[in-house]
Amino acid sequence: MPNGSDQVYLVAGSNSGNSQDYLKKAIFFIDKIKNTKILTTSSIYQSKSYGPIKQSDYLNQAIHIETKLTPHRLLDEVLSIENNLGRVRKERWGPRIIDIDIVFYGDEEISTPNLTIPHYDWKNRDFFIACLKEISCPFVEGNGLSLKSVKKLI
């Protein structure tokens, strides 16, 4: 992709229905976003759910992309993918068919009501760190988490 592109790291997660299939579909649709190219994806990792609601384990996968889209336009695209795959937002930290987070967008720092980059809580989420480390995300090198709660599946 020519100059003017940014390096972006996403993490997709699912813990409802056929989670592996939802992750595959998310990758398929991310690859169809205009002016965006998938550079690499991590293996799929299994982790305990995050937050106060008891629920099934999550499957998570990191996606390194290059895009010419602005951060807010990219957010619109990933929210559209979530909606098209059937995500319904009922409760914070509740079960999800699919969740696609923009964790890093180049070295941008954004804090708006609907978008925070870097992701506001990435340092406390082993499942982000495990799959981002696998694809050599430069922002997570040397993070001291033990990653005991995360299991590589594929």
Give the residue numbers annotated as catalytic, written as ranges.
Answer: 87, 96, 99, 101
Ordered DSSP codes for 8-73: EEEEEEE-SSSHHHHHHHHHHHHTTSTTEEEEEE---EEE---SSS--PPEEEEEEEEEE-S-HHH
Write down how long the chain is.
Answer: 154
Look-up of token digits 């759910």 = 49
Q: Is 90 exposed, middle or buried (0-12, 13-18, 19+ CB in 10 A)?
A: exposed
AA letter at 153:
L
Q: Which of 124, 83, 120 is nearest to 102 (CA)?
A: 120
